[in-house]
Amino acid sequence: MAMDLLSREDTLKDLPRQDVLQVKGSGAAIGAHYVGSEPCRLCHAGSFDEFKLTVMGRLLETGHHTVGGKMECESCHGPGSSHVNAGGGRNDIGTGVIRSFRANDPRSSAADINGICLSCHEKGDRTYWRGSVHQTRGVACTSCHTVMRRTSPRMQMAKGNVMDTCFQCHKDRRAHSVRTAHMPMREGKMDCGSCHNPHGGPHDKMLKEATVNDVCYTCHADKRGPFLFEHPPVRENCLNCHEPHGSMNRNLLTVMRPRLCQRCHTPGRHLGNPALGISSNRYMVNSACQNCHTNIHGSNSPSGRRWHR
């Protein structure tokens, strides 16, 4: 049936024709040429029904133009004449071959797959992809995004949302996210992409801002300052005291108070020193040190040298 369609001049007259394409490692057959998307519908009708529910599927249906011309199946899968003429087939070498995006296909690597995606999607957040942590570790675009099916409300994620997609590899962060104190990720108010750019960036840990503190200040602007009296470890790094991915301590603290404060402030005759006995125990419960030192992130009070107010 596919052969009959190809032989009909009225069907092929509007299909794009390009020169012979040979792409090393891409899976495209040598000498194959472009035939358009219509022959694909004969065997892949079900895939078209799913695909048209996605963003890229709608672009294909409306004839959207890409950097390589009108968007077709072959814009990603490469020239398909050999595949069509052979009646399909995905594992034959040299006969019926077409570019595959399957993770277990030995004919294509993550670099090959990413090269196809980046031919259209290398601007914006993807500018820093080349040389990023994910790129150098062989992560493919298809590891995080599912193009042919609508699996998430936005961004064609491989899982239902950004968080579950990242947790495919970052399983320790999944454990952190279910701890008692956690960022509002499970509630859907933010996700991993709120702080990190998974496609890379000029900053450490793929952060969206230059420092950890600048990332935190995008939401916690009241902690930015400047303050009349600064607390040095706070100004240095929020991670000195907080674990942003989740903690078993209040307010995402890395250690319970007062032990958190006592990592820097060696207890002497100060209230809150357990060595002082029962009389100091009342300063070790509730907010402990912050029962008195309430403005621990910094103070603008003339008498706030010790962050009492």
pLDDT exceeds cutoff 80 at 280 = no
CA distance linking residue 48 with residue 61, whole number of Å: 10
Work out the percent of the chain whose per-residue pLDDT is above 90. 49
> Which residues fall within 8 angstroms of residue 102, CB to CB, at 6 or more apart?
108
User: What is the pLDDT of the chain when averaged over all its residues?
Assistant: 83
pLDDT at 271: 66
* Alpha carbon of residue 262 to chain centroid: 37
pLDDT at 275: 61
- Binned at pLDDT 50, 70 and 90, residue 68 comes out as confident
CA distance linking residue 260 with residue 127, whole number of Å: 40
Q: Which residue has the tokens 């794009």?
A: 16
Per mean pLDDT, which range of 21-35, 60-74, 159-173 is the poorest? 21-35
Reading the block at residue 174, the tokens are 């999944």
pLDDT exceeds cutoff 80 at 283 = no
- Binned at pLDDT 50, 70 and 90, residue 97 comes out as confident
R_g over Cα of the chain: 28
pLDDT at 278: 67
pLDDT at 255: 93
Q: Which residue has the tokens 């496609």?
A: 199
* Alpha carbon of residue 285 to chain centroid: 40
pLDDT at 10: 39
Alpha helices in the chain (DSSP H): 2-7, 9-12, 38-43, 45-51, 55-61, 74-77, 81-85, 110-118, 133-136, 141-144, 162-166, 171-177, 212-217, 232-236, 259-262
List residues bridging with 247 in a β-sheet: 181
CA distance linking residue 256 with residue 236, whole number of Å: 20
pLDDT at 162: 94
- Binned at pLDDT 50, 70 and 90, residue 257 comes out as confident
Pick the more confident residue, 166 or 61.
Answer: 166
pLDDT exceeds cutoff 90 at 308 = no
Pick the more confident residue, 151 or 20.
Answer: 151
pLDDT exceeds cutoff 70 at 23 = no
Predicted confidence (pLDDT) per residue in 229-249, tens digit: 999 999 999 999 999 999 999
Among 46-50, 92-96, 100-104, the range of highest mean pLDDT: 46-50
pTM: 0.80
pLDDT exceeds cutoff 90 at 220 = yes
DSSP string, 216-282: HHTT-GGG----SB--HHHHH-GGGTB-TT-BSSGGGBSS-TTHHHHTTS--SSSTT-GGG-GGGGG
Predicted confidence (pLDDT) per residue in 117-142, tens digit: 999 898 888 999 999 999 999 999 99
